[in-house]
Homo-oligomer: A and B are copies of this chain.
Amino acid sequence: MRVLVTAGPTREYLDDVRYLSNASSGKMGYAIVRAGLELGWDMVLVSGIVDLRPPSGCEFHSVVTTEEMRNASVELFGSCDGVIATAAVCDYKPKERVTGKISKTGDPVQLEMIETDDVLAELGAKKQKRWVVGFALEAQNPRENALQKLRRKNCDLIVLNHPSAIGADSNSVELINASGETEQSWSGSKTEISKELIQWLAKRVV
C-alpha cells in the first residue's frame, strides 16, 4: 500500500513579502502519515510550509503554492494506491504577483483574485482504480456541502470537519461516503483520529 497525503496550507504571494494563506498547521496530515507508517504502508507526504518535522520514514516533498502542490501531487499520485487530501490549499491567488513590495499610498488597493488549481478535483478526475479521501472544512450546511464536494471532486470518501479544527490538536470529524451516509464519527486528538481513519481504510479499501 502506497498512499499520498497532502498537508498544511499553501501560500499565494501578492508581492515578494505579502501572501494569502490560512492557519492550517499540518497536524492532521502528519498524524495520518505517522499512522500509515505504523501499519507498514509507504507514505508520500506533500506538504505546504508548516512547523512540523516530517515523520521519519515517509517520502517528503515540500511545496509553497497551490500550483506547486498540484504539480507534485499529480506526479506522485500515479505511483500511489490512494490519496488522503488534508491540505488546506489557498483557493484564490492574486491575478498578478508584484515584484518587490507594493508601496503604501494611503489609498485603498483593489486586489483581483482568481481561483487556483483544484488539486483534489484533478486527483479525483485522474483516479481510475485509486481511491480518494478528501477533507472538507465547512462552516455552513456542513453535511450538504461536504457531500457536494465529494461528488464534484469524484472522491470515494470525505472527512467533514469544522473551521475550528484549524491549528488545533484535537478534532471532531465525520467520515461520509458517496451515498451521503456517515460511516463513522470520531472525536479526539488528531493522532487518535488518524489511527482510526487509517485502520478503517485498511479494512475497507486495501
Interface string of A79-107 (1 = CB under 8 A from B): 00000000010111001000011101010
Residues of A within 8 A of B (CB): 11, 14, 16-23, 49, 51, 88, 90-92, 95, 100-102, 104, 106, 108-115, 137-140, 163, 166
- In the complex the two chains form, is B139's CB within 8 Å of A101's CB? yes
Among A14, A17, A21, chain B packs the most CB atoms within 10 A around the CB of A17
Contact B115 A104 (CB under 8 A): yes
5 tightest Cβ-Cβ pairs between the two chains A and B: A100-B139, A111-B111, A51-B51, A109-B113, A108-B114
Name the one of B20, B108, B112, B114 contacting A19, with C-beta atoms under 8 angstroms. B20
Among candidates B16, B22, B108, residue contacting A17 with C-beta atoms closer than 8 Å: B22
Complex CA distance for A22 and B19, rounded to whole angstroms:
6
